[in-house]
Amino acid sequence: MSTIPLRALPDDAPAPAPVLLPAIQLVDGAAPPAAAIAAAPPRAPRWMRALLWLRAQATGFALGSLSLGLMLLFWHFATTHGWDFYIRFTNLPTPLEVAGKLGEAMNSTKFITNVGMSLRRIAIGFAVAVVLGVALGLAIGRYKVTRQLLFPAIEALRPIPAIAWVPISIMLWPDNEVSIVFITFIGAFFPILLNTVSGVQAVDAVLLRAGQCLGAREPQLMWHVVLPGAAPQIFTGLAVGMGVAWVSLIAAEMISGQFGIGYFTWEAYSLIAYAEIVLGMITIGVLGLACSWAIRVAGKLMLPWLEFTKLGGRP
């Protein structure tokens, strides 16, 4: 084998520029080189990261409370003074009237039953949408044949609003309860599916090739590379899908339901009970907010590296 002779640099040649090596981790307890330590970003202390997290939470809570307080203040002055400037507040109940009606409703089994029925329907419909939406989204985003086979049909059905499915669902399902759950499922399914497809297609191809070079098979790639890489967008789809699911559920309950918070609100409108109408609307908003908050908390617990990176940490 031939060798290439090395030429020595002349004495007056400038010294080569130093090269900073990326941070690497050595085995057998060996210390990393000084260049790698210098190139690594400093890690914030634990107490500082906790303090930053608390400050961010306190700031968000204060701003949210301020916006809600301003909305309640506007509602109070508009209804008590009977403002009428094209938008009429003369017939709307005051916040105190709605609060009094809430006290009466909490002592009524009818109101509690309606809330429980809506929560039960949203839980079943959303759970089925999560299972089918994430599974199909992974398959459509990962495999070209599946995308060519299923995506055109899905895109043809997606523009149809959930409320338009009410007559068909009544004919499809023998039970009225199942038809309402189906409409709730339809509302949540498409946002979850599309966000999952987008998340899978956004996974870095370098990560996939690295997993294949390490000997990972397709199920292992799907579980350990594709699913974690698409998880942030999947949770975005879950949050969007939950909001659309509540819209679909309330519309279905108003049209064909006999129980539920949507039916409660529509019945109050039929009886011209203004305070109960507003109470139903506020209940819908609070329940939807609680469900979306639960999804965000679950996302932070299942994806801790995202919050850790935002706070200046280093895995």
Domain ranges of the chain: 92-310
Q: Which residue has the tokens 């329907």?
A: 121
Give residue 27's pLDDT. Answer: 44
Q: Can you tell me the mean pLDDT for 31-49? A: 58
Q: How many other CB atoms sit within 10 Å of the CB of residue 49?
A: 17
Cα 96 from chain centroid (whole Å): 34
Q: Which residue has the tokens 């590296």?
A: 305
Q: Which residue has the tokens 């068909």?
A: 168
Weakest mean pLDDT among 32-41, 180-189, 244-253, 263-272: 32-41
Q: Which residue has the tokens 């189906």?
A: 182
Give residue 60's pLDDT. Answer: 78
User: Alpha carbon of 219 to those of 14, 16, 131: distances in Å?
Assistant: 54, 47, 17
Determine contact, residues 222/213, Cβ cutoff 8 Å.
no
Q: Can you tell me the mean pLDDT for 140-155? A: 93
For the residues of 201-238, what is the DSSP string, one character each?
HTS-HHHHHHHHHTT--HHHHIIIIIHHHHHHHHHHHH
SS (H, E, C) 53-76: HHHHHHHHHHHHHHHHHHHHHHHH
CA angle 132, 137, 143 (to 5 degrees): 125
* Alpha-helical regions (H) of 32-143: 34-39, 46-80, 95-106, 109-142
CA distance 67 to 64: 5
Q: Give the DSSP letter of residue 314.
A: -
Give residue 238's pLDDT. Answer: 96
Q: Can you tell me the mean pLDDT for 133-137? A: 96
CA distance 19 to 130: 49
CATH architecture of 92-310: Orthogonal Bundle (1.10)
Instruction: Determine the straight-line distance between the first and last CA of the chain, rounded to whole angstroms.
Output: 45
Kindly report each contact of residues 173-177 with a partner whose C-beta sits within 8 Å and lies 24 or more positions away, as own/partner: 176/256, 176/257, 176/258, 177/121
Give the residues across from 84 on adjacent strands.
88
pTM of the model: 0.78
171: pLDDT confidence band, cut at 50, 70 and 90?
confident
Task: Give 63-88 pLDDT, tens digit per residue.
Answer: 888 988 999 999 989 888 888 888 88
Please name the residues in contact with 137: beta carbons below 8 A apart, sequence gap of 6 or more: 192, 193, 194, 195, 196, 197, 199, 200, 230, 234, 237
> DSSP 3-state assignment of 88?
strand
CA distance 309 to 311: 5
14: pLDDT confidence band, cut at 50, 70 and 90?
low
- pLDDT at residue 11 tops 80: no
